[in-house]
Structure 1
Amino acid sequence: MKHQNVRLTHGSELIGRKLKNCFGVEETAVLPRFSWRYYDWCVEQGFDMEAWVKMVDEHRPQELTFSEVLEGAFWKDECKRFHAGEHVPPWKEPEGCTEYIESLEERGKI
């Protein structure tokens, strides 16, 4: 992901926050406002986001930054919740979700 190519729309403003990575060290994650909105919603639901962030970071591909892996993981998790009919945030399905879920189904991942 190249942040400089992101067209700024409402909710896409980049915001940095410190989260503990898989080594327990605080690292700054720079994500769009809408990603942090999902993270905050998860916290409000009582999900253990500290453990979840560490787990996601443990499986981070070398070519991705901490911010990139978290942004993708938040989006994928939100998409899967909408698709599975689980408790979801009070806003619309994330953009591109349907295509992502269809690609998982085609590959037998769902």
Structure 2
Amino acid sequence: MSDDRITLRQMLSQQKPAVVCNMTSKRNTIGASWPKLDGSVTIWEDFNLNNLNESYGHVLDFPFQRELLVHPQASESLTNVAIENDDDINHLISWNDRVMQPAQDQSMGYHLPQ
């Protein structure tokens, strides 16, 4: 694939730098607003990489023009990130959103080959 093309798989699987966590453990609590589970929640055995590739591999491997998937590089956005308190996790979450939004927009906006 030429350098002007990128797949969703390449974009979404870029290696992220290690994130240092300097927080100390706190007591685990359950908020009153969390729903009570009745025990019927089970592991979804069919949700695995093989099945995802079989069903959506053609979408993940479709080559888009690189400029259509402008996204923050993990190596640029997450270098030297440290988790010092509960609010710092928002930086990681916002980076994920900035990566996912253009990927979602492009994958839903094209008629991909079946």
TM > 0.5 between the two? no
Give the structure-2-normalised TM-score. Answer: 0.25
Give the structure-1-normalised TM-score. Answer: 0.26
* Structure with greater helix percent: 1
